[in-house]
Chains A and B, each alone.
Chain A
Amino acid sequence: DAGITQSPRHKVTETGTPVTLRCHQTENHRYMYWYRQDPGHGLRLIHYSYGVKDTDKGEVSDGYSVSRSKTEDFLLTLESATSSQTSVYFCAISEFTSRGEQYFGPGTRLTVT
């Protein structure tokens, strides 16, 4: 299994609070991604990174920001959580160009009350 961990694995938070999710990899892969999984929508890309300090938006980036200060860590921040951001969040990595297969972390279940 690719060395990807996500923390926390579960979180319950209140509307309006900031939340940061962490993705950590030990594979030294260049590309890292954040997805959310919702019923009826499959996986939707939030943000991705193609190198340290190089990030770009995905299809559902509103309300989220990311940072990548080290190759191994990709942080997803919800500046002010809303109930619509209740979801399961997956981090993924890939090695070479984005033609490469993606390896997924175990997921973080976030509930915003």
Chain B
Amino acid sequence: ILNVEQSPQSLHVQEGDSTNFTCSFPSSNFYALHWYRWETAKSPEALFVMTLNGDEKKKGRISATLNTKEGYSYLYIKGSQPEDSATYLCAFMKTSYDKVIFGPGTSLSVIP
């Protein structure tokens, strides 16, 4: 069974702090990695789709990097705001024929 891990499991930060979390996946094969943002009582929304080693993506204050050789991706949030409070999921695909496997998520709470 493919193991996609995320750390930390949860995070509490003060408004204005910058934060980052990690998604780890098997480095033997790589096809794609997705990041999703999931607010309570809503549906997951895609943030980034990353496909190449060294990819860096940015959307506003949120950015992500990808290292396929060592099997990890980082998600960074600069100057966290209360509206950033959500669970952040990564999802990994080993090959084009494989299913997307989601990690367990990192729950972020931003305290005003």
Q: Is the CB of B1 within 8 A of A59?
A: yes
- A44 adjacent to chain B (CB < 8 Å): yes
CB of A43 within 8 A of CB of B49, answer no
- Chain A residues with a Cβ under 8 A of chain B: 33, 35, 40-45, 48, 56, 58-59, 90, 97-107
> Using Cβ atoms and an 8 Å threshold, which residues of chain A touch B93?
98-99
Task: Across the A-B interface, give the 8 residue pairs with the lowest CB-CB distance, nearest first.
Answer: A101-B46, A104-B43, A43-B102, A42-B104, A99-B32, A42-B102, A104-B44, A101-B49
Q: Which residues of B are at the interface with A, using a C-beta cutoff of 8 A?
A: 1, 31-32, 34, 36, 43-46, 49, 51, 89, 91, 93, 96, 99-105
Contacts of B100 in A (CB 8 A): 33, 45, 98, 102
Q: How far is the CA of A43 from the CA of B105 in the complex (A)?
A: 9
Docked complex Cα distance between A104 and B38 (Å) = 10
Specify which chain B residues have a CB less than 8 angstroms from the CB of A99 in the assembled complex. 31-32, 49, 51, 93, 96
Q: Give the distance to chain A from B19, nearest Cβ to Cβ, in Å.
A: 20
Contact count A vs B, C-beta below 8 Å = 55
Would B89 and A43 count as touching, CB distance under 8 A? yes
**Complex Cα–Cα for A44 and B101 (A):** 7
- What A residues does B34 contact at CB under 8 A? 101-102
Which residue of chain A is the closest to B32 with respect to CB atoms? Answer: A99
A contact face: mostly helix, strand, loop, or mixed: loop
Whether A45 touches B46, Cβ cut-off 8 Å, given contacts A99-B31, A101-B34, is no
Choose from A42, A98, A107 the contact partner of B96 (Cβ within 8 Å): A98
Assembly CA distance A33 to B100 (angstroms): 10
Given A33-B100, A43-B91, 20 more A-B residue pairs with CB atoms under 8 Å apart are A35-B102, A40-B104, A42-B89, A42-B102, A42-B103, A43-B102, A44-B102, A48-B99, A59-B101, A90-B44, A97-B96, A98-B93, A98-B100, A99-B31, A99-B51, A101-B46, A102-B34, A102-B46, A104-B44, A107-B43
A10 to B32, CA, bound (A): 33
Tell me the minimal C-beta distance from B28 to chain A in angstroms: 18
A104 touches B96 (CB 8 A): no
Q: Which residues of A contact B102 (CB under 8 A)?
A: 35, 42-45
